[in-house]
Chain A
Amino acid sequence: MKNRDFILITILSLLAFLYLFPIYWTVITSLKPNSQVFTNPPMFYPSSPTLTNYYQSGSAAGAVAQSATGALPYIVTSFVVAAVTSFLSTFLIGAPSAYALVRHVRGKLWIARLILFTIMIPEIVLVVPFFNIITHAGLLNTWWALMLTYISFTAPFSTWILIGFFSRVPKVIEEAAEMDGMPAFQIFQKISLRLVTAGLIATLVLNFVNCWNEFLYALVLTLTPYNFGFPPYGAQTSQVYISSFIVVERSVAWGGLAATGVVTMLPVLILGLFFERYIRVGATLGSVKG
């Protein structure tokens, strides 16, 4: 027993180290002056921590971007796109489709499998078609480009997860509501939807994180940062901004890159810590009962 515990703890510690070390490294790099980033032997804690990487402005060493200060418009874009997308695909598409599938459709298992199948298609396969569609629709370089694309990925995912939750709502509670005189839509809205609150939160958070972290489509479909003018224009996300620290054949502002990375990581980390319970439930429950 003791032996097994020891092995388990060792494995878990190794895994935790594997996952947490890059985060730690990003944080300390963001606090180092550029000269200390590549020292040999490596510095595992900054000897003279500095916040320059977070607020310093201007462009040095040839990199386009220098510090985290410039990240604001990109973060606004990331936030709006992720929030709107996750909200729409969870509540407007995922929940109603999952509910309808669970309660009212025959052969739901096959439809559910088809949905799962679309989730499993690698995203990169569809980059070119999406680029074509978005270009022809004249939406390139707008929030719409990202929101529409992301919804097409998050909606099936939401539906899939919520099918699992809705099929755990006892049918008899809905029948009771039917007997009590509730119209069908109200039963969905006021009873069933309330009973899958945990699932909705989990789905919402997972969608938000997925959109927030998305890089490939954001890079391909957007060219300029969001501007606060009217009409607003541009739709690069913070993930794209991070990549702008890297300029091929020139130097990379590692400190600024790490600082922006930390800033970009924060919302997701906070969400994760705050809703950890729901995400865990969502990850383990979201499946269709045969």
Chain B
Amino acid sequence: MEKVRLEGVTKLFGSVTVVSDVNMQVQNGEFRVIVGPSGSGKTTLLRLIAGLEKLSKGHIYINGKLVDDIPPKDRNIAMVFQNYALYPHLSVEQNIGLPLKVRKMPPHEIDRAVKDISELLHISHLLKKKPGQTSGGEQQRVALARALVRSPEVFLLDEPLSNLDAKLRVEARGLLKRLQKELDITTVFVTHDQSEALSLASVVSVMNGGRIIESGDPQRIYSFPQHLFTATFIGSPPMNVIEGTITEEGGKKFFSCESLKLRIANIYNVRSGQKVKLGIRPEDVRLEGDLQAKVTVFEPMGSTALVTLNLGGHEFVVQTTSGINFDAGDMVSVGFPSHALHLFNEEGTRLPF
């Protein structure tokens, strides 16, 4: 069943289009992550769903009901903000209980609900403290508790992990994923961190320039990006991209640029002379083959290492797990397995097989 539906959602600030004609359906129980660089309009999109911003064009439905003119408080949506936005003058207990108190729930029921959600989030020992007396990670869990205590229809999160340090962030990510499953709550999560998107989402929407570039399950987005933007934005280090032309020789198709000629699978629907962009993920480049490249930078990363190569004037990053150390200036042989190549046309759209 679909929980949230956006139809041609557009938002202008003055004459600047921040969100442009977004269509999106979020299914019941789905964990949707909207990922994009800063300024891509993802937070504005989330605020539009919340009702904190007025739509310029388009419609938003929640549970099949048109909510364009319904204020946030009547949408039964909860939101966690980037800096948590806890009420500094209220205790943790009052913070969490406030959404219920506002809804005139009897005090003993509020107490029980606050107790339950606090146990779930392991913050029972903080209830009497003020938010200012707790750590960043704890504040984050208080914010989650406040949002979840009233079992909202939709749960919105605006970069909730970006203010945590690296270790806490991984922890909180696990907690979020577990909670979302346990409570089976429809979630829309906004982030600029592609690894967060991949690890959390059941569906990822990649956003850039106010538009949804593409949506899909994380594995598909990573393995078969439909757009060059997705290809280079998702994955770290990003996909290597070179521009070139398609050539044909003896019934075989090649990708060629000044210094490089690569065999590509015949199944690609391309014609000779077509200008294309070729992408390959750092971990897909083989450190064996018939091409010779020069190592310019070697960065050991623990279990893997990044090798930056110069191949006929093009810089490539290769991710290797081989454990071999290189020095700048070393010559290595490299290979580009044809099954790992991604071809995009000049506009950045993936070329079909």
Contacts and interface: CB of A to CB of B under 8 A. Distances in A.
Contact of A172 (B85, B99, B103): B85
Contact of A178 (B52, B83, B86, B146): B52
Which of the four size classes fits the interface of chain A? 10 to 19
Interface stretch (B73-81, B108-116, B209-217, B291-299): B73-81
Contacts of A182: 73, 98, 102
Given A180-B102, A181-B73, A175 B88 contact: no
Contact of A180 (B71, B83, B88, B98): B98
Given A172-B85, A173-B85, A179 B77 contact: yes
B87 interface: yes
B152 to A, nearest CB: 9
A182 to B, nearest CB: 5
B72 A194 contact: no
Nearest to A175: B52
A176 B81 contact: yes
Contact of B99 (A180, A183, A195, A197): A180
A141 to B, nearest CB: 44
A170 B85 CA distance: 8
B89 A195 contact: yes
A173 B146 CA distance: 13
Which of the four size classes fits the interface of chain B? 20 to 34
Interface in A238-255: none
Contacts of B72: 175, 178-179
Given A181-B99, A181-B103, A176 B73 contact: no
Contacts of A178: 52, 71-73
A191 interface: yes
Contacts, number: 54
Contacts of B89: 194-195, 197
A176 B147 CA distance: 9
Contacts of B71: 178
A173 B50 contact: no
Contacts of B103: 181
B83 A181 contact: no
Given A172-B83, A180-B73, 17 more contacts: A170-B85, A173-B87, A173-B88, A175-B72, A175-B79, A175-B81, A176-B85, A176-B146, A177-B98, A178-B72, A179-B50, A179-B52, A180-B78, A180-B102, A181-B99, A182-B102, A183-B73
26 contacts: A172-B83, A173-B86, A173-B88, A175-B52, A175-B72, A175-B79, A175-B81, A176-B79, A176-B86, A176-B87, A176-B146, A178-B71, A178-B73, A179-B72, A179-B77, A179-B78, A180-B73, A180-B78, A180-B99, A181-B99, A182-B73, A182-B98, A182-B102, A191-B87, A195-B89, A197-B89
Interface of B: 50, 52, 71-73, 77-79, 81, 83, 85-89, 98-99, 102-103, 146-147
